[in-house]
Structure 1
Amino acid sequence: MLAFLNFIAFLAVTGYGIYTFANLVYSRVTFIKLGKKSDLRKDTQQRITEVLINVFGQRKLFKDKKSGFMHLILFYTFFIIQVGLIELIIKGFIKGYEFPFGEGHKYFSLLQEWATFLMLMAVVYGFYRRYGEKLKRLQWKRDGKAAFVYIALSTLTSSILLTLGFEAIMLDHEPNLAYAPFSGAIALLFSGIGTTAGTILFYIFWWVHMVTVFSFMVFVPQSKQAHELFAMFNVFFKKVGPVGKLRKIDFEDEEIEEYGVGKIEDFTQLQLIDLYACAECGRCTNMCPASGTGKTLSPMDLIIKMRDHLTEKGAAVTSRNPWMPSYVFGSSALSPTLTAESSAQETAATVEMPNLIGDVITEEEIWACTTCRNCEDQCPVANEHVDKIIDLRRYLVLTEGNMPHEATRYFQNIERQSNPWGMNRKERIKWREGREDIVVPTVDEIEDFEYLFFVGSMGSFDNRSQKIAQSFAKIMNVAGVKFAILGNEERSSGDTARRMGNEFLFQQLCQENIANFQAYGVKKIVTICPHTYNTFKHEYPEFGLEAEVYHHTELIFKLIQEGSIKPTKEVQEAIAYHDSCYIGRYNDIYDIPRQILKSIPGVQVLEMERNKADAMCCGAGGGNMWMEETEGKRVNIERTEQALRLNPTTIGSNCPYCLTMMSDGTKAKEAEERVKTMDITEIVEKSLVC
């Protein structure tokens, strides 16, 4: 009778737990379905590779080696323990039950014991990192949920060992320390209590384990632990292709009434998976230049607030419109057409909720982003923060016409004169008059050229950046490179306009530039601006560009390798090298600039604490070059201070924007007399015998 009641109680707990878990997961799936359909490229092989590397290989987690190793143990021991859970459940109904592995069961037992112990140790270490070491990125919130995770996992693992230990006493078995070292030690410690007490304690801890398992299972979908369910899907379905590439808006689609994202359901379904995949690990916020300098923007907080908003709105929609689709994705590549989808989205649109922009996400957060992608590079579950922020900006700019006054002025200057300052566009070519020792022909002045040198607005109009353009032209002259410029026909690349949310202006500039390139038969483009390089290389092809695109450091490195230029003069400089975000994290170019510097006699390359993929943004990206920072510390000051800690004689960069920000930083720190700021091109030119 007791065994029967035990079985009924187990069925009740199990049934309730599984039903609640399934219902909660299904609700999150239906909330995701409120988003717009996603045009998903298949690219199955690449997606599988991403899962193998970033889920099963845990690559991103090892950016913090201590946490990475801890999570690797938790990840794999979790799967091992689940196999033992089946056996443990049966043990509660069949005394002394073991999987029919024969002699191999002792090795299975050994694997289970060590997996359980290692998970317990990993949980203890995780607890120490949060509450003992007080790791900064984990101190953002104190709502008790994190503590519950540690308590639940500690209870889950320790109850396994206690159950197995008291099972040995219940069965009057000799403790086997060789193949059951931890439960065997428990059995040995309590060996004198007798089989009756052993039986009682066995069922007590068996039930503790079962209740913990199903309680934690119900907890998972309602907490940050939901990443255990959604992270793998998020990695698999993430955008493939160039990182940071933005979605194109079809302005010819007459059905579109609003541009950008003004409501949570305006995001795509794939974007909404990000919200439930977030592990709340704080890695993104820990590396964010805005957050690190006292701005209101926190990438993690942004995701969490949108997740909670989606959950709240989804729950309201579900209560009003219970007929919801049962598929996760609406793309035809993944699932059939859903007749209930439009109904769900229409219902979502009528539910009265706080405004996404203004109530949930502030405009200050939206405009603080520098689009550096440090958050995305750090994220172990492949969340993409930047494209969401750009979509919010698009709504403000294109739908509401609401933007900072600096952005308004920027757009007007680009529209009228195709440069940020509003200077006469006919002065774009004047930069080449600054030096008589360089030859810079326009496309009209030369019959044949290999490279189109796209100078950009900074190189054309900014006095400091003009020197970069001149140095690069000199290098190409020395190397015998046949190149030309568009001169006054050159337009802004539109990259900054796009990342400030003005997609319409970007597309207009993009089409004008491509028309120019085609008219002059351009096959190769080289530019000194990483932002222009990135948008030409990865975004213009979607609009029809067919040309090879080079950053000036790539071409310089090529010329050095070919022997076309030979840096031979000593340049005695200790250079703190700064990685541009749009060359580094966007295009994975880290070694080429360093190899160029190391090829110059006398140059010593100094590495900042945050370098390469972890390098901090200069603060200019995402349009912030043209807007005032009204909160916290200036980003460029923080980055300059990081460079100055190395006591360099020069701060080196590969971007006109970065050079400007670092130059302003040295002036603000009153260090410009002892520390120069130079582009790699200028340093190379100093080493050439001309």
Structure 2
Amino acid sequence: MSAALNWLAEHGAELARWIAFAAAVAVAGLASAAVVRRRALYIGLGVPVKLDWLPGNKEGDIRERKKRKPSFAGQVLGHRKLLHDVRSGIMHLIYFYGFIVLQFGAADLIWKKLSGHPIPFPYYDGFAWSQELTVSLVLLAVLYGGFRRYVERLPRLKRGWKPSLVLWFIGGLMVTVLFTLAFERLASLGAAGTGTASVTNASVHLVAEKYAPISALLADGLGALGVSIGSLAAVIGYELFWWLHLLVLLSFLVYVPQSKHFHLLTGPVNLWLHRRAPVGKLSPLDLENEEAEAFGAGKVEHFTQKQLVDLYACVECGRCTNVCPASNTGKLLSPMHLMVKLRDHLTEKGAAITSKSPWIPKAMGGRIAGAHTMGASLPVWEDGFEGSVTSIAPTMAAQAQAWSVRAGLKAEDAELIGDVMTEEELWACTTCRNCEEVCPVGNEHVDKIIDMRRYLVLMDGKLPADGQRALQNIERQSNPWGLPRAERAAWIEECESRTGVRVPTMQEFRKEAALRVAESTGMEEKGAAVAVKAAVPEVLLWAGSMGAYDTRSRKVLYDVVRLLDRAGVSFATLGLEERSSGDTARRIGNELLFQELCRENIATIAKYGITRIVTVCPHTYNAFKKDYPDFGLPDSVVVEHHTELLAELLSAGRLEPQHALKERVTYHDSCYLGRYNEVYDAPRQLLKAIPGVQLEEMARSRANGMCCGAGGGLMWMEEQSGVRVNIARTAQALEVRPSVIGSACPYCLTMMEDGLKSLEADERVSARDVAELLAASVFGSEGR
């Protein structure tokens, strides 16, 4: 008994420390695991979905899975998207790799105190130096993060105690590390100087001062303040800051999964699970499913589990809102707030359904008696537009004021559309995908908005009156204006009178081919028709509704016809057999109308055995490439944009731009051609091939180009608040002092021309499709 008492007297402090340490780690670990488990339960409320990159899925082949590895590594380890903002990217790289490096230092610091021995890392002195350097860099990054948020006051960053808490956590960790090392140094030096084996029941291990420059300097400072070497104050200070460091570290462990910093875990998972279907592809609805509770998303549980993972991966960095055309022009929509509001709603509703509180301790949730909803907001930006100024500040302020707790409302009773997301926000989205392009954790915003639009349109029958009118016109006449369907082929006659080139319909092409066969072989015309049934032109020219009906867009179509004819390309069109591609219907949310149009067009394409389609409209182009394959369009059908085909003909020497155009051109990237399909170079190749053309890029171009405002069905709907997106984009184009704003989309062309008129710049600057500029160079004065 006495031996045990003696051992306890000698080692009691160490034993107590071990017990307290184990208890603290167990409590923190269990609390953190509980938070993660509960949020996993909330995510589980969503619709299960088979990941499209797994074996057995269309996009799940070996090549697609191999693509994942460099993309994942580039974004997680290389911070590819974060480095688009170099200063922010470097700061986050320091956080990221500092976090990894310092875990070894934390383990060493803890183990050294508990066991009396450091972890035997090779080159320990060098390891100690790397830890001090990393701590210093991270501390500087924390200070710079605070500067960015509160001094520089970047509009995209939130301010307040919640966004600042992580800075205090990380800063506290760094400070406690340095003070622990400094006090350890003072205590250990005392032990070494007196020959005592240990002043804290730990063996002495000193790192040379040159390998511990910061903690050694801090120890000198403490000495100057009266903390002498080997003193009781040094021993107590060492013990105190060791425990402070441990408690801050464990508190951070519990805090992370119940804050936006859950992205430390969910971000990499989200990027790994990121679907590898074609970019921007929408999931089709099974409209024949009689067991479906709803079509679209009218409740947060209607989203897929992968979509719900997005919500917990959101970093709230504001990059998405910073580039959003709606947010930049004073609309209420903010992609960042979309994710945050859906996340808050999921957390509150998930807690109500599962009876599992999301907060540990519960006080972290603020003990709210109600549910978050959108209340009254600040007035949206209505001050007009001057120059090229765009700002997200009004949207950020309006969202911050509106998102508040409604007392007495149960979370399960809050309406997803109306209480959480307003209809105004949903109809402000242009579906440009710039938000997704810049998101560092791979979040997808557009599909969630489309799913909510689908619910509004298909289940509630709600949409803006002008959108409803456009859909009714498409349904009745297969064009948004409601012009007679019988006039869809009228452009062919006009094209012939203007250009001298007759564009045959597929029926005429087959008939002419049959006549030629009959004449050359002596066969009867009926037999010849059977013989050429499989005959198809090189290219099917898809006019689209804009090309077929819009007077301005027809001019682009005519120049494309002339260029194809000059290059000796065999082509035809469908004429009256052509229907709307259905893109507008799908983006607005009428999946039923889209699928009807889609299947009609696919049947017509199959009837004629078409193998190659070219269109002047990126929206039609994207629909054919991304959406139609789900409904039976064969992979063998090649779909091209007119700029791709013209660039190919130019490269092959079949077109020769020879007449100089003395124009200063800035090119506006179409979202559906660029971000959706990564066609950035073909239009620029055409412009660079034209003698005399000087190409000037806008500040926002290529993958970061700003939308013209026409996507997502907004071409047919009036903007109800803020500045018109096309005016803001036109002003950005005018900053580079062009004589021509080039484009490759009939929607963009219309928007740019309208913007020039609104800014009273149409007399000195014109908007033209790149095909028009190429034709002017190829044909000379007759093409002007």
TM-score where L is the length of structure 1? 0.93
Q: Please point out which of 551, 557, 579 is paired with 1:491.
A: 579
Name 2:470's counterpart in structure 1: 410
Aligned equivalent of 2:111, options 90, 111, 128: 90
Aligned position for 1:392: 452
**Structure 1's 257 and 15: CA in aligned 2 closer, same or farther, altered over 3 A?**
closer
What's the CA shift for 1:45?
3.2
Q: CA deviation at 1:594?
A: 1.1
Shift in Å at residue 321 of structure 1?
12
C-alpha separation in 1, matches of 2:261 and 2:67: 26
Query: In the alignment, what sits opposite 2:738?
Result: 648
Q: What stretches of structure 2 of length at least 5 have no aligned partner?
A: 1-11, 55-59, 193-205, 359-409, 514-535
Equivalent residue number for residue 326 of structure 1: none
Aligned: 1:442 with 2:478: no
Matched, 1:111 2:153: no
Match of 2:383 in 1: none
Name the residue aligned to 2:728. Answer: 638
Deviates more, 1:58-67 or 1:378-387: 58-67
Residue 362 in structure 1 maps to residue 425 in structure 2: no
Determine which of 220, 225, 246 is the counterpart of 1:210. Answer: 246
Q: Is 2:150–2:159's contact at 8 Å kept on the other side of the alignment? A: no
Query: CA shift at 1:183, angstroms?
Result: 1.8
1:261 counterpart letter in structure 2: A
Match of residue 32 from structure 1: 43
Task: Show CA shifts across 1:503-551 (max 9, x none).
Answer: 1111111100010001111000000000111111122112111200000
After the TM superposition, which residues 474-489 of structure 1 pair with which residues of structure 2 at under 5 Å, given as runs? Answer: 474-489=562-577
Offset of residue 387 of structure 1? 0.2
Query: Could you tell me how far apart the structure 2 residues matched to 1:180 and 1:508 are?
Result: 72
Note the 1:143-182 alignment, pairs <5 A.
143-172=160-189, 176-182=208-214
- Which residue of 531, 534, 540 maps to 1:452? 540
1:552-606 Cα deviation digits (max 9, x unpaired):
0000100110010000101111112100001111111112211110110011111
Residue 94 of structure 2 is aligned to residue 73 of structure 1:
yes
User: What are the Cα deviations for residues 209-266 of structure 1, in whole angstroms up to 9, with x where unaligned?
Assistant: 1111111111111211111110011001111121110001112222113100000000
Classify the secondary structure of the residue corresponding to 1:305.
helix
Choose which of 416, 419, 433 in structure 1 pairs with 2:493.
433
* Aligned pairs for 1:107-256 within 5 A: 107-138=126-157, 141-172=158-189, 176-191=208-223, 193-196=228-231, 197-256=233-292
* Cα displacement (A) at 1:168: 1.5
Q: Does structure 1 conserve the Cα–Cα contact (< 8 Å) formed by 2:499 and 2:558?
A: no
Report the alpha carbon displacement of residue 10 of structure 1 after superposing the two structures with TM: 2.5
Aligned mates of 2:567, 2:97 — CA distance in 1: 55
Task: Identify the match of residue 82 of structure 2 among 41, 61, 83.
Answer: 61
What is the letter of the counterpart of residue 4 of structure 1?
L
What do you get for the CA RMSD once the two structures are aligned? 1.7
Which residue type is aligned with residue 36 of structure 2? V
Aligned with 1:314 (options 350, 353, 359): 350
- After alignment, is 376-385 or 441-450 more displaced? 441-450
Where in structure 2 are the equivalents of 1:191-590 lying within 5 Å? 191=223, 193-196=228-231, 197-319=233-355, 352-434=412-494, 435-446=498-509, 447=513, 448-546=536-634, 547-590=637-680
Q: How far apart in 1 are the matches of 2:677 and 2:98?
A: 36
Partner of 2:517: none
Paired residues of 2:280 and 2:433 also in contact (CA < 8 A)? yes
* CA deviations over 1:254-305 (Å, ceiling 9, x no partner): 2113100000000000000000000000000000000100000000001100
Q: Secondary structure at the match of 2:695?
A: strand
Conserved in 1, the CA contact under 8 Å of 2:466 and 2:717? yes
Kept in 1, the 8 Å contact 2:348–2:411? The answer is: no
User: Secondary structure of the residue that 1:652 maps to in structure 2?
Assistant: strand
Q: Distance in 2 between matches of 1:22 and 1:229?
A: 12
C-alpha distance in 1 between matches for 2:500 and 2:419: 58
1:353 is displaced (CA, Å) by: 2.3
Q: How far, CA to CA, are the matches of 2:485 and 2:564 in structure 1?
A: 25
TM-fit CA distance, 1:85:
1.3
1-side partners of 2:39 and 2:664: how far apart? 54
Q: Once the 2 structures are TM-superposed, how far is the Cα of residue 105 of structure 1 from its aligned partner?
A: 1.3
**Deviation per CA, 1:182-224, whole angstroms, max 9, x where unpaired?**
2222234335622122211111211111111111111111211
Question: Partner residue of 2:406?
Answer: none
1:47 to 68, 71, 84: 68
DSSP 3-state at the match of 2:488? helix
CA distance in structure 1 between the aligned counterparts of 2:120 and 2:633, rounded to whole angstroms:
64
Q: Counterpart of 1:359 in structure 2: which amino acid?
A: D
Distance 2:312 2:286 in 1: 29
Distance 1:649 1:351, change over 3 A: closer
The worse-fitting range, judged by mean Cα deviation, of 297-306 and 32-41 is 32-41
Contact 2:332 2:424 in 1 (8 A): yes
Runs of 4+ in 1 over 6 A off after TM superposition: none
The 8 Å contact of residues 295 and 455 in structure 2, kept in 1 or not, is answered as yes
CA shift at 1:351, angstroms? 7.3
Aligned residues: 659
